[in-house]
Structure 1
Amino acid sequence: MSVREATRADLPALRALHGLLDAPVPDLFDGLPPGVTLVSTADGVPVGYVHSFTGEVAHVAELFVAPAHRREGRGRRLFLAVLARLRREGCRAAELVVAPENTSARALYEELGFEAGERLHGYYDSGDEEEEAGDAVRYRLQL
């Protein structure tokens, strides 16, 4: 299992993984987005990724591992690698948002030192006018 910087050649695999999300960020992988994108590979093929926008406070936008490769430590390795990279880039903190019911992700973030902050009411828009938007919790880690 290796973690490396994403390349343009990875875009088809990234798009396929991204398409498995319940609510993917539109057009995120039309090209390599600005910031840091790292992939976890199996037999040279990306099976997981993490993307973070950089800045004084970096925003970790997405972490995803294909269902067949979960519980292998890939998410943790991706996250540790992106945090190390953000430190090298000079970011002072990293933030992310997560659904309150995503207990496995929240446990990982807390194990990595992130602290839960404000609850963001109505953060996730379902796209369905009849369905209420879901809440999120903001997490922050000083780098």
Structure 2
Amino acid sequence: MKTDAFAIRTLTLDDLDALLPLVEALHTSDGDPFDPQRTVDALQLVLSHPEYGVVHVAEVGETIVGYIVGSLGLSVEAGGRFLLVDELYVSPAWRGRGLARKLLASLIPYAQSHHCRVVELEVGWENDRARTWYERLGFERHRRFFCSITLEELDRRLVLRQGRQSR
């Protein structure tokens, strides 16, 4: 059994190569595509613009074994700013040791300093373990359908639809 102590800290540019395999593991386990360059671009954006969000890593010795990404948003329904837990992942060998809880807790000061009122997240329907864990922490399910589309694709479809309607 591993008993090494772990530390939570903010991601740096020097960490990107070590973090990519964990991001890939999360995306693969969720059935999502993984694009290393797109991931690096997004992480560099957050690192250069802390007002967009924050990335924290859990480290054992010199090894990154988990991470969390929080990004800022605004919601009229939420009454102001909110923090979106965009990604949370702990390597399988390190699960069950409190790292996910510590990573989640590490976002609280950031959210408070940015006047967030609510913390939101998304979790796959099939991920019963994560969903149950979040619900035990007090997260509530919403009767909503989460969906997304690239801005480019939405623009293309709206222009096509507008073109058809103007005939």
* TM bracket, shorter-chain basis: 0.7 to 0.9
1:50 equivalent in structure 2: 68
Deviates most, 36-45 or 18-27:
18-27
Which one has the largest radius of gyration? Answer: 2
**51, 62, 74: which one pairs with 2:87?**
62
Which structure 2 segments of 5+ residues have no match?
1-5, 47-52, 74-80, 150-167
Q: 1:79 to 1:63 in 2, by over 3 A?
A: same
Distance 1:14 1:69, change over 3 A: same
Paired with 2:93 and 2:33, the residues of 1 have a C-alpha distance of 19
TM-superposed CA distance for 1:42, in Å, is 0.8
| Fraction of identical pairs, as percent | 35
Q: What's the Cα RMSD here?
A: 2.2
**TM-score normalised by structure 1 residue count:** 0.76
Q: State TM-score, norm by structure 2.
A: 0.66
Match of 2:58? 40
**Structure with greater strand share of residues:** 1
1:1-143 mapped onto 2 (5 Å cutoff): 1-21=6-26, 22=28, 23=32, 26=35, 27-30=38-41, 31-34=43-46, 35-55=53-73, 56-120=81-145, 123=147
